Amino acid sequence: MVVTTIEAVLFAAAKPIKLKDLQKHLGLSQEVVREAIDALSVRLNTKDSGIHLIEHNDAVQLVSHPELGEDVAKFLRVEASGPLTRPSLETLTIIAYRGPITKPEIEMIRGVNCSLIMRNLLIRGFVVEGMDTQKLQSVYTLSHEFLQALGITHLRDLPEYHAFQTNEKITELLARQPLELPEV
């Protein structure tokens, strides 16, 4: 079960995760995490798997099979050049009016997982990822390129910016503890 849990966390994160963070946040020993990473590596890093596990600088990440890089890049270029979906537009709006904002905060407002949407917005260059040293999490803001595409020079130029930026109900929602999701 530990291997499956770590695999799910790495998949959902879609970025390198430090081994010490897996230990800390999952309440596991260094040995248990090491065994799980080794087991995942053996299972995934084969010629028949489209997903591989890479380890570098004491961090691990799930990535596509290196030999499939061109196909993946081609797909992502097509995907990134298509029209924005309604969920992507909603997410961009939340980031614009409430940013810098963490992914869990975006998910709290939208009520759904936003991992794929965030990945697509980052790939398109519409969103910039930074680090909030107080929250110890990644935070997201709109990119300069996206502001330029909107034709505005500052976020305060957005319609009703102040009203949404300081909305009490949204602030109250973000102050709540995240709901515990049931295990599947």
Note the pLDDT tens digit of each residue in 7-25.
988 888 778 889 999 999 8
Largest CA distance in the chain: 54
What's the pTM value of the predicted model, to 2 decimals? 0.54
Helix (H, G, I), strand (E, B) or coil at 59: strand
What pLDDT was estimated at residue 131?
87
Residues 29 and 63 in one domain: yes
Residues 87 and 150 in one domain: yes
**Is residue 14 in some structural domain?**
yes
What pLDDT was estimated at residue 80?
58
Residues 153 and 95 in one domain: yes
pLDDT in tens, 56-106: 888 898 888 878 878 877 776 665 566 788 999 999 989 998 889 999 889
Report yes or no: 89 and 73 within 8 Å, Cβ to Cβ: no
What pLDDT was estimated at residue 79?
59
Number of separate domains in the chain: 2
**Is residue 180 in some structural domain?**
no
Which of 174, 100, 91 shows the shortest CA–CA distance to 141?
A: 100
What pLDDT was estimated at residue 40?
93
What pLDDT was estimated at residue 94?
92
Report yes or no: 55 and 33 within 8 Å, Cβ to Cβ: no
Domain assignment of residue 38, given as a range: 2-68
143 has pLDDT over 80: yes
Residues 108 and 139 in one domain: yes
131: exposed, middle or buried (Cβ count in 10 Å: 0-12, 13-18, 19+): exposed
Residues 56 and 87 in one domain: no
**pLDDT band at residue 132 under the 50/70/90 scheme:** confident
> Of the residues 68, 102, 125, which one is the last residue of a structural domain?
68
What pLDDT was estimated at residue 35?
94
What pLDDT was estimated at residue 109?
87
Residues 88 and 20 in one domain: no
How far apart CA 33 and CA 59 sit, in angstroms, is 12
What pLDDT was estimated at residue 95?
93
pLDDT in tens, 171-184: 777 777 555 433 43
Residues 89 and 168 in one domain: yes
Residues in CB range of 166: below 8 A, 6 or more apart: none
163 has pLDDT over 90: no
**Is residue 149 in some structural domain?**
yes
> Of the residues 68, 91, 112, which one is the last residue of a structural domain?
68
> Of the residues 68, 97, 126, which one is the last residue of a structural domain?
68
Q: What is the CATH number of the domain that holds 128?
A: 1.10.10.10
What pLDDT was estimated at residue 157?
80
**Is residue 76 in some structural domain?**
no
